Amino acid sequence: MSEGRLVTLSEAECLDLLRAEEVGRIGVVDAEGPIVLPVNYRCVEGEGGVFVAIRTRPGNVLDVAPQPVAFEIDGIDRAHRRGWSVLVRGRLRHLDPDALESHERFDSHPWVAAERDAWLVIEVRSISGRRLEAATVEWAFHATAYL
């Protein structure tokens, strides 16, 4: 069996993956140090660029987080030892929750919507991704299949 290899994803491939998913992880630094939290999100594109929109509870760690953040999504296929990862870096900013545009364009439809009244977006500064391509099988049969 040959070795697997990492392949750099294009920005277009990264955006396709961001559009297709709805759960990711956001990394921030708070008073106690780095913290990574799962969030529902929505990829929003327009004339102003690319944004990752999230909703959270007012006053929680994300609502009061410093502006520079990292956001990551991934997909893993354990059976075939392959996967992919997309990393977004940017600045976190608040949206006006009463603005009609916020509700129409930036609603991430959180799985737990109660009290998710803080509307945030990550203004994407950079986006990168990698795919781990599985090792290729050099022989169609493997000895362990007969044990």
CB 18 within 8 A of CB 10: no
Q: Which domains does the chain carry?
A: 5-146 (2.30.110.10)
Half-sphere exposure of 117 (CA within 13 A, CB side): 5
pLDDT one-digit tens code per residue, 49-106: 899 989 888 888 888 877 899 999 999 988 878 899 999 999 999 887 676 565 666 6
Phi-psi region of 49 (alpha: psi -120 to 50; beta: other; left: phi over 0): left
Inform me whether the pLDDT recorded for 35 exceeds 90. Answer: yes
Q: Which of 5, 9, 23, 17 is nearest to 129 (CA)?
A: 9
CB 119 within 8 A of CB 95: yes
pLDDT at 103: 61
Mapping DSSP to helix (H, G, I), strand (E, B) and coil, where does residue 109 land?
coil
* Bridge partner residues of 83 (DSSP): 76, 132
110 vs 66, residue with greater confidence: 66
* Bridge partner residues of 119 (DSSP): 55
- Confidence class of residue 23 from pLDDT cuts 50, 70 and 90? very high
How far, in Å, are 1, 9, 25, 142 from residue 138 at the CA level?
A: 5, 26, 37, 10
